[in-house]
Every structure is written in C-alpha cells, then in structure tokens.
Amino acid sequence: AQKVTQAQTEISVVEKEDVTLDCVYETRDTTYYLFWYKQPPSGELVFLIRRNSFDEQNEISGRYSWNFQKSTSSFNFTITASQVVDSAVYFCALTPSTGNQFYFGTGTSLTVIP
Amino acid sequence: DTGVSQNPRHKITKRGQNVTFRCDPISEHNRLYWYRQTLGQGPEFLTYFQNEAQLEKSRLLSDRFSAERPKGSFSTLEIQRTEQGDSAMYLCASSLETAVDYGYTFGSGTRLTVV
C-alpha cells in the first residue's frame, strides 16, 4: 500500500523567514518517485521538485531545497526567504515506477504574511 | 502548446442531472489521468488512459462515472445522476509514458457543485 502523510495542516510565517514542510511516506516498492506540488488559489497543481528512490542526495534549487531520507521515509521541503507569492497549498506525492497513479498527502496550507 | 486545458472551469448542477467535463492534454502526451479533489484533501486517483485505452480505474469510479478518450487525444468524464457527494474539483493531467517519473502536467480543474 502507498500512503503519504503531511502532518502540518496550516503554517504561517512572516515574509523572509525560512519554512520547512514535512512529508512522510509509506511504500513497499523499491523504485518510486517523490514530488512536491504547489496549488495556488487558481487551482492548478504546479510541479516543484522530484526525487527518485535511488538518489538520496539533497539539493538546492533557487529558494527551494529538499531533504530526502529513506531511513525515516521522509521527504521534507524547505523554502528559504519566503515571499508572499509562496502562499499556497503544498502537496507531497508518491508514485511507483510505473507512474500509473500519484498518491497525494492531504496538503499543507502555507500563508506568508507580509 | 498551452498545457492541459479543462472545460468548463465551473459547473453547478441540480442533484440527479448528468454532467460532462472535457480535458485536452498536451498534444504529444499519450497518458491522460483524472483525479478528484474534495475540500481540504489531496487529489485522489480516478482513472487513466494510455492513448485510447483505459488501463486502470479506481474504486472511487462508481458505475455512475464513465470516462472516454475516443481518439487518444481529448477525454471526457461523465457523471450520471449526480449526488451532492460528487461536489469536488475534477483534475485532469497528462504525461508521456516514457517520462512518468518527471511527473504530470495538471490542468486547472473543473469545480463541480451539486445543489
């Protein structure tokens, strides 16, 4: 069974603060892919980052960075120097290697206060 | 190509009526997916197509729901005899079969309200 848990329902930060969004997943697959998507009020899910199960190297892309740890089945996402435009709902998602379907968490609503 | 297009953006219908939504994927994408998202939840998988073949359906897709992709291009999702519990955002996404690990491209969704 596949499952994604985002324990943080809502987070509020003041502009320019760093914020980390937590994600814990469950899967029995050895090959899988993890994603973070952003959903602004317009409703469209926007791809942010991806990571495959064989690559635990953590990276930074602009103001985004992620921490993937297979030992704890976590895939946390950090926004550095948050901006008001970062306000949205963020979803963590898992898909097996076949990519047949995504399993989404329940989302974390981020509000960045100016 | 302007991405995945969904129509209509909003639909209000009376309980018991039938509704149909349309999704136009990115033209070169051979996979097309339908998801449903209720308030405060993440999207839930409904079904997906590879070209014109419907390869997988979720248990969420009751017999009142039917999806088609007749020519392997656009897709329609029909809900018959709508119920209030069908109120949700219906999201369409597309991808290349060979690049599913790069994720999907989602449309903006169709928000259905059943009154």
Bigger pLDDT: A10 vs B61: A10
Mean pLDDT for A13-35 is 95
Helix (H) or strand (E) holding B12: strand B10-13
Whether B72 contacts B94, CB under 8 Å: no
Range in A1-5, A53-57, A71-75 with the lowest mean pLDDT = A53-57
Mutation target vs B (from A102, A104, A106; most B CBs, 10 A cutoff): A102
Q: How confident is the model at residue B99, as a pLDDT?
A: 67
- Residue B100's pLDDT is 67
Residue A107 and residue B48: Cβ atoms within 8 Å? Answer: no
Give A33→chain B minimum CA distance, Å: 6
pLDDT band at A57 (very low <50, low <70, confident <90, very high): confident
Looking at the complex, does the CB of residue A104 fall below 8 Å from at least one CB of chain B?
A: yes
Q: Is the pLDDT of residue B10 over 90?
A: yes
Count of CB contacts below 8 A, A vs B? 64
In this complex, do A91 and B100 lie within 8 Å of one another by their Cβ atoms?
no
Residue A101 at interface with chain B, using a CB cutoff of 8 Å:
yes
CB contact under 8 A, A91 and B101: no
Q: In this complex, which of A42, A97, A104 lies closest to B108 when CB atoms are compared?
A: A42
Over range A66-76, report the average pLDDT: 93
The tens digit of pLDDT for each residue in B16-75 reads: 999 999 999 999 899 999 999 999 899 999 999 999 999 999 988 899 999 999 988 999
Structure tokens at A64: 């985004």
Q: Which residues of B touch A (CB under 8 A)?
A: 31, 33, 35, 40-45, 48, 55-56, 58, 89, 91, 93, 95, 97, 100-109, 111
Which residues of B fall within a CB distance of 8 Å from A107? 40-42
Note the pLDDT tens digit of each residue in A83-97.
999 999 999 999 988
Question: 3-state secondary structure string, chain A?
Answer: CCEEECCCCEEEEECCCCEEECCEEECCCCCEEEEEEEECCCCCCEEEEEEECCCCCCCEECCEEEEEEHHHCEEEEEECCCCHHHCEEEEEEEEECCCCCCEECCCEEEEEEC
Q: Quick one: pLDDT band at residue B101, thresholds 50, 70, 90?
A: low
What pLDDT is attached to residue B16?
97
pLDDT bin (cut points 50, 70, 90) of residue A50 is confident
- Residue-level pLDDT at B103: 75
A57 has a chain B CB within 8 A of its CB: no
Q: With 90 as the cut, is the pLDDT of residue A60 above it? A: no
Give me the phi and psi of B97, to 5 degrees please.
-55, -35
pLDDT value at position B6?
96
